[in-house]
């Protein structure tokens, strides 16, 4: 049955399209069809996690989308570049993953929300993943800085009418009370 599902997924792939590789959630069109939550990165990650072989043509589509700038400006973990970098890393395409990570970290973080889904929490955890995988202390320092910024934002949010407190909004992580 699993092979049948895999075959159906791969049969539905349309690498000639630039807006998406696999059919899926309508939300892929409000993003780029590339990310972990709504796009090709998520499908490829799920196939790999299910134990199936890699699919180089689909991986190349993912990289082409990044190289062509279809994800520029969208850096979140589940929404775009950080999730693509993570997926490529998990697929063993370390050089490509680091190139995408460089592109993702070039974007400023001050406009990101605090969330795991599209913001500081997800970006910080992904940087921690890469710091541990590569031994790069610069990535570790950046992850710690983002974690500090995340905590600072959550402390200020209620007083300034900002994002809802942790655990009370989309994608927020729960922080135990002090």
DSSP secondary structure of 134-172 = H--HHHHHHHHHHHHHHHHHHHHHHHHT-SPPTTSSTTP
Residue 166 lies in a domain: no
Among 1-15, 18-32, 34-48, 134-148, which stretch is predicted with the lowest mean pLDDT? 18-32
Contact status, residue 117 vs residue 78, Cβ threshold 8 Å: yes
Q: How many domains does the chain have?
A: 1
Question: 174 pLDDT exceeds 70?
Answer: no
Residue 117 lies in a domain: yes
Question: 175 pLDDT exceeds 60?
Answer: no
Residue 142 lies in a domain: yes
Residue 10 lies in a domain: yes
Output b/e per residue, 2-35; b: 16+ Cβ within 10 A: eeeebeebeeebeeeeeebbbebeeebeebbbbb
The DSSP output letter for 79 is T
Range of the domain at 144: 2-159
pLDDT in tens, 66-80: 999 988 878 999 999
Question: 23 pLDDT exceeds 60?
Answer: yes
Averaged pLDDT of the chain:
87
- pLDDT, position 146: 95
Among 27-31, 52-56, 92-96, 113-117, which stretch is predicted with the lowest mean pLDDT? 27-31
What phi and psi values does residue 97 have, to the nearest 5 degrees? Answer: -60, -45
Q: For residue 32, what are the contacts with CB-CB under 8 A and spacing of at least 6?
A: 19, 39, 65, 70, 71, 74, 80
Residue 177 lies in a domain: no
Residue 31 lies in a domain: yes
- pLDDT, position 176: 45
- pLDDT, position 159: 55
CATH number of residue 113's parent domain: 1.50.10.10
Q: What's the whole-number mean pLDDT along residues 161-169?
A: 52
Residue 174 lies in a domain: no
- pLDDT, position 157: 60
Residue 39 lies in a domain: yes
pLDDT grade, residue 154 (50/70/90)? confident
């Amino acid at each position: 049955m699993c092979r049948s599902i895999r075959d159906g997924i791969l049969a539905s792939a349309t690498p000639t399209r630039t807006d998406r590789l696999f059919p899926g959630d309508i939300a892929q069109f409000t993003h780029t069809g590339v990310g972990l939550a709504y796009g090709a990165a998520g499908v490829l990650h799920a196939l790999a996690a299910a134990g199936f072989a890699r699919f180089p043509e689909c991986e190349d589509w993912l990289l082409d989308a990044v190289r062509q700038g279809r994800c520029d400006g969208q850096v979140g973990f589940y929404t775009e570049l950080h999730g693509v970098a993570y997926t490529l890393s998990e697929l063993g395409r370390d050089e490509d993953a680091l190139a995408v990570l460089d592109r993702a970290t070039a974007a400023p973080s001050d406009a990101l929300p605090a969330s795991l889904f599209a913001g500081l929490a997800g970006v910080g955890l992904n940087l921690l993943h890469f710091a541990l995988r590569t031994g790069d202390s610069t990535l570790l320092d950046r992850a710690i800085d983002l974690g500090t910024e995340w905590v600072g934002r959550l402390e200020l949010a209620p007083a300034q009418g900002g994002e809802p407190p942790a655990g009370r909004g989309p994608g927020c992580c729960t922080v135990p009370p002090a």
